[in-house]
Amino acid sequence: MPGLQGGMSARRRYTDLGMRGLCWLAMLAVVIPLCSLLVYVIMQGTKRFDFDFFRNLPRPVGIPGAGMANGIVGTLELVICGSLFGVPTGVMAGVYLSEYGGKGKRFAQVVRFLADVLSGVPSIVTGIFAYEIVVRPMQGFSALAGGFALGTMMIPVVTRATEEMMNLVPGGLREASLALGVPKWKTTLMVVLRTAQSGIATGVLLALARVAGETAPLLFTSFNNQFWPSSPMQPTASLTVQIFNYAISPYEEWHDQAWTGAFVLLIMVLLVSLASRLVFSRSKQTIF
Amino acid sequence: MSTEVQEAINMEGSAAAEPSMFLDRHSGRGDRMFHGVAMGFASALPILAVAILVVLGIASALCMKSMGWGFLVSQEWDPVKENFGAAAFAYGTILSSFLALLIAGPLGIAIALTITEFAPIKFRSAAAFLVEMLAAVPSVIYGLWGMFVLAPLMRVYVNPILVKCIGKPFFDGAGTGLCMLTAGVVVAIMILPTVMAICREVFDSVPVALRESALALGATRWESTTLSVLAPSKAGIVGALILGMGRALGETMAVTMVIGNRALISPNLLGPSDSLASAIANQFTEATSSMHLSALAELGFLLFFITMALNMAARLLVWATATRMGGS
C-alpha cells in the first residue's frame, strides 16, 4: 500500500495548490476595484452632500447652493415613463411564453431567442432608434423619447424574468384551478400570475435599477435641461446625463457635484436592487 | 387526450356532455381573446428587433449611398468635407473590447471556479452578492471612477513600468492616463459579472458524479476541476466570453470618459483612441448636417451588426452545451 500514500508527486501537489491559490487571488483582484470605487463615491460624494443638492437647480460655477433636483426628479420621471409601456409589454410577453409557448411552438422559440438577443443591443443603438422614432417626428428632445428608449431596453429583461417566474409555479396549481372549471385565461391571471407576482416584481425592480443608471440612450433623446421642464414633451434633465456633463467639464466644483450625483444615483440603484432582493425572499416563502 | 375524455363523456349520455360543452362555449372565447392579446404583446419583441434594423438602415442610407463600402475601410472622419470612414472607430472598439476580454476572461473563469468548486458553501452567496454589486453600478459611475481615480493611477504608477519593461510599439510615451489601456481595464471590470455569471451557470450544470469519479481515481482537486469541469464546459466558456465581448463592444459611457476620444489607428495602448459608441455619444447632438447624422447612424448600424452576430453565436453555443449536459 505505500504506493497509494506516497503516490502523489510534489509537482502535482504544488500545481493543485498553486492553481487554487490563483483562483482565490482572482477573487481578491475583483474586490479591490469594487472597494476603491465604493470608497471614492462615498468619500467624494459626501463632501458636498447637503439638503441644497435635493432642493435646488444646477447653478453656474462659483455660485453656492447648486443642486440636481431636476435631474433626480427627471430620472424618476424617465424611469416611470419607460416602465409604463415596458413593464406591461414585458409581463404579457412573458405570460405568453410560459403559458402558451410550449417547446414545440416555433413563434415562442423565436420570441425567446429575440428576447436574449435584444437584451444585448448596445444602449447607444437603442438611443439612435428612439431618436429616429420619437425625437425626429416630434422635432424635439423630450422625456417621452427618453422614456421610450428606457422602456425598449426593459422589455426583453422583464419578458425573460416573467417567464422564468411563471414557470416556477407548480403545474398542480393550474390543474386544480382548471379542474374547478375556471377558464384558462382566468387561471393564468388569477392563479398563476398572482402566485408569481412577487417574483415578477423582483425582475421588474432589477430592470428598473438597470435602466435608471443608463446614460447613453438619454444623451440624444431626453437630452438635458438646466431648469424644470414644463411638460414631458420638453428636454428633461437626468441624474446620469448631468453626472456625465459635469464629469467632462473642466471645473473642479462641477467634478465635486458629479461625485455627489454619483453617490445619490448609486444609493438609488442599490436601494432598488436591495428592495428586489427583499421582495424575492418573500416570494420564495409564498411559492414553496 | 382531451378528445378521448370528451368521447367518453359523450358516450355516458347527453346529460354529462352538456356541462363540458357549456364550459367550452363560454370560456373558449375568453381564452382565444386572452391568447391573442398575449401573443400580440409577445410579438412586440420580433417587431422591435425588425424595427431597430430597419430604422437604423434607413437612417444610415444617406451615408451608405455616398460612401459605399469605403466607409468600412477609410480612416478619415471629416464632418466639414463630409468624408466619413469608420475604420479608426471600429479599431478602437474592437481593440478595447479585446483587451477587456483578455483581462476579464481568465479572471471571470477563475472566480466562477472559486465560487462553484473551491469556496466553502457559506462564502459562495457572499461572493456572488459582491459580483452582483459590480453589475449593479451604473456605467457612468465607472466612467467617473476611471477618469478621476484609475487614469491618474495608471499614469503615475502603471504606465511608466510598462514603458520601461516592454516599451515600443505597444507601450510608448507616458500619456495622460486617458488611453486605450485604461478603457480596457474599466470595461474589463464592467463585463466581469457577465462572464462570471454565465461560467458559473455552465460549471453548475456539470454533474457532481463527474467530479467525484475524477477524485476517486486519485486526481487532485485541481486535476478533477480541469478534467471533469473545465473540459466538458469548453463550449459554454467560449459562449460566456463571446457574450462578455458583446457587452464590451456596446459599452459607451465609461469608454467615452476614459479612452481619450481621438480616432487613431496605432498599436500604442497608452495613447488616446476612440470607439464606435463613444463617437456616437460625443457627436450625435452636435452633428449639424444630415450627412454627419447619417454617418453616425451607420456607426450605430455597424455596432449593432457586430454585437448581434456575436450575441447570436454565443447564445447558440450556451444553449447547445446546456442541452447536451441536460441530456446526459
Render pLDDT for B40-79 as a digit per residue (tens, 0 to 9): 999 999 999 999 999 999 999 999 999 889 899 888 888 8
Q: Is B127 within 8 Å of A124 when comparing Cβ atoms?
A: no
Residue B304 and residue B195: Cα distance in Å, rounded?
20
Q: Is A186 within 8 Å of B30 when comparing Cβ atoms?
A: yes
B37 interfaces chain A, CB cutoff of 8 Å: yes
Identify the band that residue A283 occupies on the pLDDT scale cut at 50, 70 and 90.
Answer: low
How far lies B269's CA from each of B159, B191, B272, B277, in Å?
A: 10, 20, 8, 19
Q: What is the mean pLDDT of chain B?
A: 85
Which stretches within A8-68 are classed as H helix? 10-47, 51-55
pLDDT given at position A284: 61
User: Each residue of A221-265: pLDDT tens digit?
Assistant: 998 988 898 888 899 999 999 999 999 999 999 999 999 999 999
Q: What are the CB-based long-range contacts (under 8 Å, 24+) for B21-25?
A: B23/A181, B23/A183
Q: Is B38 within 8 Å of A125 when comparing Cβ atoms?
A: no
pLDDT given at position B19: 43
Q: Is A223 within 8 Å of B140 when comparing Cβ atoms?
A: no
State yes or no: pLDDT of B3 exceeds 60: no
How far lies A3's CA from each of A6, A8, B125, B186, in Å?
A: 6, 9, 40, 50
Q: Give the best residue of A5, A23, A252 to mutate against chain B (max B CB count within 10 A).
A: A23
Q: Residue B273: what are its φ and ψ, rounded to 5°?
A: -150, -170
pLDDT given at position A73: 94
Cell 459599452 maps to which residue? B251
Residues of B in contact with A210 (CB under 8 A): 136
User: Each residue of B98-138: pLDDT tens digit?
Assistant: 999 999 999 999 999 999 988 888 888 888 788 878 888 99
CA A55 to chain B, closest CA, distance in angstroms equals 22
Measure CB to CB from residue A118 to each of B42, B49, B131 and give the nearest one.
Answer: B49
Residues of B in contact with A159 (CB under 8 A): 42, 45
CB atoms within 10 A of CB B122: 7
| Weakest mean pLDDT among A56-65, A266-275, B127-136, B303-312 | B127-136
Residues of B in contact with A26 (CB under 8 A): 106-107, 110-111, 114
Q: Is A129 within 8 Å of B56 when comparing Cβ atoms?
A: yes
What's the number of CA atoms in the CB half-sphere (13 Å) around residue A86?
29
A243, closest residue in chain B (CA to CA): B140
Residues of A in contact with B40 (CB under 8 A): 92
Residues in contact with B282: Cβ distance below 8 Å, sequence separation at least 6, in sequence order? B256, B261
pLDDT given at position A286: 57
Helices A252-287 and A69-99: crossing angle in degrees, nearest 10, is: 30
What's the number of CA atoms in the CB half-sphere (13 Å) around residue A217?
32
Tally C-beta pairs within 8 A across A and B. Answer: 260
Considering only CA atoms, which of B257, B250, B266, B255 is closest in space to residue B75? B266
Identify the band that residue B31 occupies on the pLDDT scale cut at 50, 70 and 90.
Answer: confident
State yes or no: pLDDT of A181 exceeds 70: yes
Identify the band that residue A285 occupies on the pLDDT scale cut at 50, 70 and 90.
Answer: low
State yes or no: pLDDT of B28 exceeds 70: yes
Burial class (CB in 10 A: 0-12, 13-18, 19+), A63: exposed
Residues of B in contact with A209 (CB under 8 A): 136
Q: How far is CA B145 from the centre of its chain?
A: 22
CA B136 to chain A, closest CA, distance in angstroms equals 7
Cβ–Cβ < 8 Å for A133, B55: yes
B162 interfaces chain A, CB cutoff of 8 Å: no
Q: Is A188 within 8 Å of B34 when comparing Cβ atoms?
A: yes
Q: What is the 3-state secondary structure (H, E, C) of B252-306?
A: CHHHHHHCECCCCCCCCCCCCECCHHHHHHHHCCCCCCHHHHHHHHHHHHHHHHH
Residues in contact with B289: Cβ distance below 8 Å, sequence separation at least 6, in sequence order? B79, B82
A126, closest residue in chain B (CA to CA): B52
Residue A144 and residue A149: Cα distance in Å, rounded?
9
B178 interfaces chain A, CB cutoff of 8 Å: no
State yes or no: pLDDT of B18 exceeds 70: no
Residue A123 and residue A129: Cα distance in Å, rounded?
10
Considering only CA atoms, which of A109, A58, A89 is closest in space to residue A258? A58
Q: Give the best residue of B47, B115, B134, B140 to mutate against chain A (max A CB count within 10 A).
A: B140
pLDDT given at position A101: 83
Residues in contact with B42: Cβ distance below 8 Å, sequence separation at least 6, in sequence order? A92, A93, A96, A97, A101, A107, A108, A111, A159
Q: Give the best residue of B26, B41, B227 to mutate against chain A (max A CB count within 10 A).
A: B41
**Segment A183-210 mean pLDDT:** 91
Helices B180-204 and B87-113: crossing angle in degrees, nearest 10, is: 40
B305 interfaces chain A, CB cutoff of 8 Å: no
Measure CB to CB from residue B45 to each of A115, A128, A258 and give the nearest one.
Answer: A115
User: Each residue of B278-324: pLDDT tens digit?
Assistant: 999 999 988 888 899 999 999 999 999 999 888 888 777 777 776 77
A125, closest residue in chain B (CA to CA): B300
State yes or no: pLDDT of A32 exceeds 70: yes
Cβ–Cβ < 8 Å for B261, B216: no
Q: Is B49 within 8 Å of A183 when comparing Cβ atoms?
A: no
User: Each residue of A199-218: pLDDT tens digit?
Assistant: 899 999 999 999 999 999 99
Residue A224 and residue A263: Cα distance in Å, rounded?
20
Residues in contact with A256: Cβ distance below 8 Å, sequence separation at least 6, in sequence order? A44, A47, A48
B9 interfaces chain A, CB cutoff of 8 Å: no
pLDDT given at position B326: 56
